[in-house]
Amino acid sequence: MSNHTEASMSKSRSSHSGFWLVVIGAALWGVDPLFRVLLLDTFTSSQIVLLEHIIIMAIALPVLWRNRHELQGLKLRHIGALLFISWGGSALATILFTQGLAGGNLNAVLLLQKLQPIFAIILARIILREQLPKHFGFWFVLALFGTYLLTFGWSLPFAEVNEFIQISSLLSIGAAVLWGGSTVMGSYMLKTMKYETVTSLRFVLALPLLLGLTIWEGDAWSLPASTGQSALVILNLVLQALLPGLLSLLFYYKGLSTTKASYATLAELSFPMVGVIVNWVAFQQIATLTQIMGFVFIWFTLFMISRQKEDVLAA
C-alpha cells in the first residue's frame, strides 16, 4: 500500500470520526434546557450565562497559558472571528436562547434553532468558499423534515401568526443566527490554532461583555434561603457549565477541526433531537410513531452524509 493511499485512508477516518464528535458535542447541548430552566427560578438570563463563564474560566485559563504561543501573530481578521465566536456565539446567543426559554413556547424555540444550518451554510459559502456535497440539498431538507416531525408531528407549528412573531421566537432566531455564524468562524479559526485554545478563548473573551451586561441590568443576586436548596442550585449551575457548556464544546471543536462547516451544520441537528428526547424522559411524555419517524430521518441523514464524506476522501 502506497504512502498516498495510507494518508488518504487516515484522513478519511479522521474526518469520519470528526463528524460524529460534532454530533456528540451538539447532542450534549440538548440537555441544556433541563438545567437552564431550573436556574431561571433563581437567576436572570444574563446572570446564569455570566456564572457559567466564570466556572469554565477556571479551566480555560491554564489551557490558554499553556498554548499562549498560538496567540502570537494573530491578525485583525482572526481577532474579529474570535470576538464573533465569544461575544456573539458564547455570550449574546446564550442569553437570547435562555430568555426565549423563559418567556415562550419551548417547541417554537427548538424548531427555530433549525435555522442555524441555513445561516451557517450561507456564511460558509461566502467566507470559507466551501463547496456543497452532491445532493446536499436533498439530505438537508430530509433532516429538516425529521426535526419538524420530532417537534410538531403532522400538525401545523403555529396556529396563529402572532404566536410565530412573539418575542421569544425573535430571540430564538437571533440565537440561531449567532450560533450558525459561530460554526463558520470556529471552522476558520481552527486553521490557525488548536481546538482547546479556541474553546478557551470563546469563554474568556466573553467575560467582559457579560459582566458589563449584568451590571447594566442591575438585577439583584439571590439564592434560596435553605442551605439544601442553595447547594442544589450551585450543583445545577456547575453541571450546566461543565456538561452542555464546556464538555460539549470540546467535543464540538475537536470534531470541527476535521469537518467542513457545511457538514457540521447537519451534525448539529442532534441538538434539538436530544432536546425532545430529554423532554420524553424528564416529563414522561410518550414518544409517538411520528416522533420516531423523525428520529430515523435525522439519523439516516447523518449516516448518509458521513458515508458520502468517507467515500469522497477515500477516492
Q: What is the pLDDT of residues 245-257, one digit of tens each?
A: 888 878 887 887 7
pLDDT reported for residue 293: 83
Q: Is 6 exposed, middle or buried (0-12, 13-18, 19+ CB in 10 A)?
A: exposed
Neighbours of 74 (CB within 10 A): 14
Total domains in the chain come to 1
Handedness of CA 309, 310, 313, 314 (dihedral sign): negative
Domain assignment present for residue 7? The answer is: no
Query: How far is CA 10 from each of CA 15, 92, 276, rounded to the nearest angstrom?
Result: 9, 38, 35
What is the spatial distance between Cα 209 and Cα 288, in angstroms, rounded to a whole number? 43
Residue 4 in domain: no
For residue 201, being part of any structural domain is answered with yes
Domain residue limits at 269: 13-314
Instruction: Please report whether residue 77 resides in a domain.
Output: yes
Q: Do the domain assignments include residue 161?
A: yes
Report, as ranges of residue numbers, the positions in the chain whose pLDDT lies below 70: 1-16, 104-108, 111, 114-115, 118, 133, 150-153, 155-166, 261-262, 265, 283-287, 306-315
Amino acid at 44: T
pTM above 0.95, yes or no: no
pLDDT the model gives residue 138: 86
pLDDT at 178: 92
1 within domain boundaries = no
Q: How far is CA 190 from CA 178, 183, 194, in A?
A: 18, 11, 6
Q: In whole angstroms, what is the distance from residue 55 CA to residue 70 CA?
A: 23
Is 185 in contact with 81 (CB distance < 8 Å)?
yes
Task: Tell me the CA distances in angstroms from 290 to 88, 146, 154, 297, 298, one per residue in order.
Answer: 35, 9, 8, 11, 13
In a domain, 81, yes or no: yes
Q: Tell me whether residue 3 is in a domain.
A: no
